[in-house]
Amino acid sequence: MSDDLRDLLAKAKGVAAAARILRLDELASPTEHERWGLDAMRGRVVELSARGASATLTTAVELVLEAQRAAEPVAWVTLANATFYPPDVAESGVDLAALVVVRVRDTTSAARSAEQLLRSGAFGLIVLDFGGGGEVEVPLAHLGRLVTLAQTHDAAVVCITKKANDTQSLGSLISLRAEALRLRDGDRGYEVALRVLKDKRRGPGWTRTLKRRGPAGF
């Protein structure tokens, strides 16, 4: 491990980001919080998807904030055509100095990078940003290794995709899939509507709508 990465991980473990996006546990009942959030996703590969007025980035950044508050290092793996924009992420409260960002050329490279990061045992959350559009396929063997590594290291792997809710998930090993849409809520904010399409632990079909405020890019 390089000295730069060691320094970054040390900083990540001590960070306490002051977020402008409302925390999940400020708005959710204990039962809802057990269903959604970093603790509910540990040991799982999760898919966040939407098409149109998507709120997948907002939802993923919210999980990054939750992890940073818990002193859990986070890595964001993104394709060249994805929509990761550091200024908006920083404005949402994320400490960019404590966030590992990896840019790769394709989905297979992204999966391999996530595997390497998980094997280090240093990260509590890995985000795989496939949200740039186009059809995404992750080989089953890679998904299987991601699941095994997530369980071994008690980490969460969250994949962002751009697809309609009637489109198949990335694979049978996806443990939780949710559609995240942004709804208008007057001039001062908006709402994020989360609809769970697949949940191997508690069953699909549950929804939640949360008020949000954040930068225009989200």
Which CATH number characterizes residue 147's domain?
3.40.50.300
**Within-domain flag for 18:** yes
**Within-domain flag for 76:** yes
Residue 24: its pLDDT value, please?
42
Residue 90: its pLDDT value, please?
92
**Alpha helices by DSSP H, the chain:** 3-13, 24-27, 30-35, 38-41, 56-69, 86-91, 107-119, 140-152
Question: Please, which pLDDT band fits residue 2 given cuts at 50, 70 and 90?
Answer: low
**Within-domain flag for 204:** yes
Given a cut of 70, is residue 133 above it in pLDDT? no
Give the whole-angstrom CA distance, residue 86 versus residue 26: 25
**Within-domain flag for 89:** yes
Q: The domain containing residue 76 runs over which residues? A: 3-212
Given a cut of 90, is residue 10 above it in pLDDT? no
Residue 34: its pLDDT value, please?
59
**Within-domain flag for 218:** no
Residue 52: its pLDDT value, please?
77
Given a cut of 60, is residue 33 above it in pLDDT? no
The percentage of the chain sitting over the pLDDT mark of 90, rounded to a whole number, equals: 50
**Within-domain flag for 217:** no
Q: Over the stretch 34-75, which tens digit does the pLDDT of each residue have?
A: 578 999 999 999 999 988 778 899 899 999 999 999 999 999
Report which of residues 106 and 202 the model is more confident about.
106
- Here the tokens at position 146 are 């991601």
- Here the tokens at position 197 are 């399409």
Residue 30: its pLDDT value, please?
41
Closest CA to 147 of 165, 172, 180: 172
Model confidence pTM above 0.85? no
Total domains present in the chain: 1
Report which of residues 141 and 184 the model is more confident about.
141
**Within-domain flag for 65:** yes
**Cα radius of gyration rounded to whole Å, the chain:** 16
Overall average pLDDT of the 112-131 stretch:
95
**Within-domain flag for 119:** yes
